[in-house]
Amino acid sequence: MAKQRVSLASGTSRGVVLDLIRAQGPISRVALAEATGLTQATMSTVVRQLMTEGLVIESGRGESTGGKPPVMLDVNPSSRFAVGVQLGRESITYVAINLAGAIVGRTRTLGIGTTEPQEMIARLASEVDSMLVGLGIEKASVVGVGVVSPGPLDLARGVILHSPHLSAWLDVPVREMLSNAVRLPVILDNDATAAALGDFWGGKLDARAHATVYMGSGIGAGVLIDGIVFRGASSNAGELGQVMIAGPDGADYPLEELANPGAIVRRARELGEDARLALGGDDEFDDFRAIAMAAVRGDGGASALIQESAERLATAVLTLANLFDLDSISLAGPAFAIAGPTYVRTVLRRLERDFFVRTQHAVRVRLSTDVTDAAAVGGAALVLQTELAPRTMGLS
């Protein structure tokens, strides 16, 4: 596994040390001191505190460099857990991860649909409690719950500001209501931001500037600079779906209106392909999956629809890569579950051809490891990082 880069000026000594042990362990105290610049005395104090809390353990001895072999430190995976909840109209995903970022439990239920928030909050809390009991996880060891949703959001108040797919939830105090119901700290964040952090926390990145492009019903992006989330002035950075792209008629439209699953289904109907592709019409995402599956099987019309979406997404991703000088991009979200490789190839080809500093460095493009559930995994990771190893850019 590649060693992650950790920004040393982004949090408390305790948080920085824990993050380094999590990302680069097993690691010695000497190596930690060298990496952080902390004195041996300060390092000993911090490590002692982390061990007292049960977060860090001694995992054996490393190789000798001439003297006594150093004692190696690593995180204690089962010392803390977090839950991620990915809200969606069609389905809700719940995951539990341990301190090392490994998934220890996962379940999926029916989505929000038209359920009223009060009733839905009670159901969310019940599902979280049931999952923890089924996994044998004591609530005292659970750091909290990370709820993720499409943006824009008001993170300070813990509310959803706007979502065409969750209209009944606008301005509902989701964070406060769920925290009261589940009796745990709750964080509300953007699904794309969470997916990006999940990529980092799970030890899957070796990048200075990374973006996770997330496509579910909408399209967003989470940007990490040295592992730190770039949020913007109102914590709503990365709304890739709002990038303006030329449509079939030559006019400019938001990317979401041209490339997201609903747009591809509507385009199929405009072209008279709905009957041939057996599109049901009741659920746009199910219809999109049918188109993606047909494309994978070699259907020419379906392939053209997916390729059209991928080309438009690649145009927006190129803009994102140029703005942030990205060296790593991953694609996450249920929309990439079937035809993801087509999107990866298309984005990579566009970057290889048009990326502004392509002569200085390449941009790695891949599917996220937990492509469908990346946002839920990231929601749980967000809780662990916020509560145990907070790191910021000085942005709210």
pLDDT tens digits for 256-313? 999 999 999 999 999 999 888 888 877 888 899 999 999 999 999 999 999 999 999 9
pTM for the structure as a whole: 0.85
**The CATH number of the domain covering residues in 13-75:** 1.10.10.10
Residues 6+ apart with CB under 8 A from 15: 388, 389, 390, 391
* CATH architecture of the region 80-198+375-388: 2-Layer Sandwich (3.30)
* CATH fit for domain 208-367, picks 3.30.450.40, 1.10.8.50, 3.60.70.12, 3.30.420.40: 3.30.420.40
Scanning the structure block, which residue is given the tokens 């891949």?
A: 366
Contact 292, 343 (CB under 8 A): no
CA 72 to the chain's CA centroid: 30
- The 3-state DSSP class for residue 55 equals coil
208-367 shares the fold of 80-198+375-388: yes
Rounded Cα gap, residues 70 and 91, in angstroms: 49
> Alpha helices, DSSP H only, in the chain?
13-24, 29-36, 40-52, 117-135, 174-182, 191-201, 256-259, 261-270, 284-296, 300-324, 340-354, 374-388
Rounded Cα gap, residues 203 and 388, in angstroms: 16
Structural domain boundaries of the chain?
13-75, 80-198+375-388, 208-367
Contact 304, 264 (CB under 8 A): no
pLDDT tens digits for 43-68? 889 899 999 999 999 988 877 666 78
Percent of the chain with pLDDT over 90: 57
User: b/e per residue, 291-306, with b = 16+ CB within 10 A?
Assistant: bbebbbeebeebbebb
Rounded Cα gap, residues 22 and 107, in angstroms: 26
Q: At residue 385, what are phi and psi to the nearest 5 degrees?
A: -65, -45
